[in-house]
Structure 1
Amino acid sequence: MNGIETLLKPEDCVMLLVDLQAGLGFGTESISRQVLLNNAVALAKTAVAFGVPVIATTSASKVYSGPLFPQVQAALPDVKAIERRNMNAWEDDTARGAVEATGRRRLLVAGLLTEACVSFPALSAVREGYEVFVVADACGGLTPISHELALRRLEQAGAQLTNWIQVLLEFQRDWTRHGTYEAARAIVVENGGGYGMGLAYAREMIHPG
C-alpha cells in the first residue's frame, strides 16, 4: 500500500471529527445515541492517549446543532472545534488546512451524519490521495439503510472501514508497551463494554500464584 504499513500506527494518523453535535444526534437512527456517544468519546480518548492530532469541526452550532458534544469536548480539552458553513469539511479552508498542516496522510474520520458530513470529506480526501479510515461505529446515519449505503459507497471509493476498539488495539498492538498501557486500558474499562469488564475483573480478582 504505497510503502505504508497496513496496520495503523499513531504517528502516521490524523483524526477528523465532524459534527458530533446534539442537533444532528437527534436525527440519528442507525445506532443507539448512547452507544454512539460512548464510541465517539472512546475514539477521542484514544487519539489523546496515543498522541494523534485531532481536528474537530462543527456546523450551525449557534442556530441549530449546538456545540461539540460536551463529553467529547471534555475528552479533548485542548481542541477547539472549527466552525464551518460547508457540509463538506474538505471544502472549508480552515478545516482542510488543519489536516494538511499535520503532514500525515492516514486520515481517520468519524461523526454525523454518515450520509453527508462524514461521507463528503472522506470521499474528497480519498480523491486527493489520503488513506482514509472511517470509524463506522462512531458515525451515525438518519436510518440504518442510509448509513449502510453511505458506508458501501465510501468503501467502493477506496476508504477503509474500522471501529474504535480496533483503532485502539491497533495503536497499542502489544500490552507490554508500558508507555500507553494504562491509558489504553482505562479507555477499554470505561467504554469497552464486556471486554472492559473482563479487564477490570482480571486486575481486581485474578491474582497469579
Structure 2
Amino acid sequence: MLLDRDKSQLLIIDVQDKLLGAIAGKDRVVDRCIRLVRAARALEVPITVSEQYPQGLGPTVDPIRDALANAAFVADKVEFSCLKNDLLRERLHRLRREGRPQVVVAGIETHVCVLQTAIDLEDQGFEAFIVADAVGSRAKTSRKLALTRLGKGGADVVDSEMVMFEWLERAGTPAFKELQALIK
C-alpha cells in the first residue's frame, strides 16, 4: 500500500537532547526527522510530537523544533507507547476519524517507544509506516531487531525518500519543486 498525503499523519517520538546523545547515527535521525517535518508542513500533513518526561530529558532538539515552527501538536508522556498516553492517543485517533489512518513514525528509541507505539498503532487499526532512516537506538543491533520485528508484525518499514515521493505522487508540481531541495 502506498502512502497518501491526504490519509497520512506524521508522528515524531522523543527526539530529545538527553536521549539523543547516546543514539547511534543521531545526526542522520535528526536530519531525516527534519526532512519529514518540512515535507509534512509543505503538504499539510498533520504533525504530532511526543516528548518523554521533558522535565528530566529536555524538549525536542532545537533543529527539529525550528523545522516544526509551532506547526505541531506536542505532548509530554511517561509511557513508552504513545497510544498509552491519553492526549496522544486522542490526537492520533481524532486524525484517523478525520480520514488519516496512515501514521508515519520517526524518532527514538526504535526498540522501545517506536516499537511499542507502532505495535499499538497496528493493534488499534492504524497503518504504521516506520521510517528506517529516521529512527535510532543506542545500539545498532537493537534498532535492527526492532525494524525486523515491526516488519514481520505488519508495520511497513520505509525510508524518508519513499515517504516524500509517495506523498508527492509526481514531479513537476509546485510541491515537488518546493521539496526537491530536501531530496538532493
Shift of 1:113: 0.3
The corresponding residue for 1:170 is 166
The corresponding residue for 2:182 is 187
Give CA-to-partner distance per residue, 1:189-208, whole Å, 9 cap, x none: xxxxxxx1xxxxxxxxxxxx
Does the CA contact (< 8 Å) of 2:33 and 2:64 recur in 1? yes
Q: State, as a whole percentage, how many aligned pairs show the same letter.
A: 24
Q: Does residue 136 of the first structure (1) align with residue 132 of the second (2)?
A: yes
User: Which amino acid is the alignment partner of residue 96 of structure 1?
Assistant: R
The corresponding residue for 2:58 is 66
**Runs in 1 of length 4+ with deviation above 4 angstroms?**
none
> Of residues 85, 102, 105 in structure 2, which corresponds to 1:106?
102
The corresponding residue for 1:121 is 117
Q: Does residue 14 of the first structure (1) align with residue 9 of the second (2)?
A: yes
So what's the TM-score if we normalise by structure 1? 0.82
Shift of 1:129: 1.6
The corresponding residue for 1:205 is none
Aligned-partner Cα distance in 1 for 2:87–2:67: 22
What runs of 5+ residues in structure 1 fail to find an aligned partner? Answer: 1-5, 189-195, 197-209
Root-mean-square deviation (CA, aligned residues, Å) is 1.2
Does the CA contact (< 8 Å) of 2:46 and 2:72 recur in 1? no
Does the CA contact (< 8 Å) of 2:29 and 2:107 recur in 1? no
Give CA-to-partner distance per residue, 1:28-51, whole Å, 9 cap, x none: 12x2x2222111111111111111
> Of residues 28, 40, 49 in structure 2, which corresponds to 1:47?
40
Secondary structure class of the residue paired with 2:54:
coil
User: Which amino acid is the alignment partner of residue 23 of structure 1?
Assistant: K
Secondary structure class of the residue paired with 1:51:
coil
So what's the TM-score if we normalise by structure 2? 0.93
Secondary structure class of the residue paired with 1:138:
strand
Aligned-partner Cα distance in 2 for 1:187–1:40: 11
User: Which amino acid is the alignment partner of residue 87 of structure 2?
Assistant: T
How many residues in Structure 1 have an aligned counterpart in Structure 2? Answer: 180
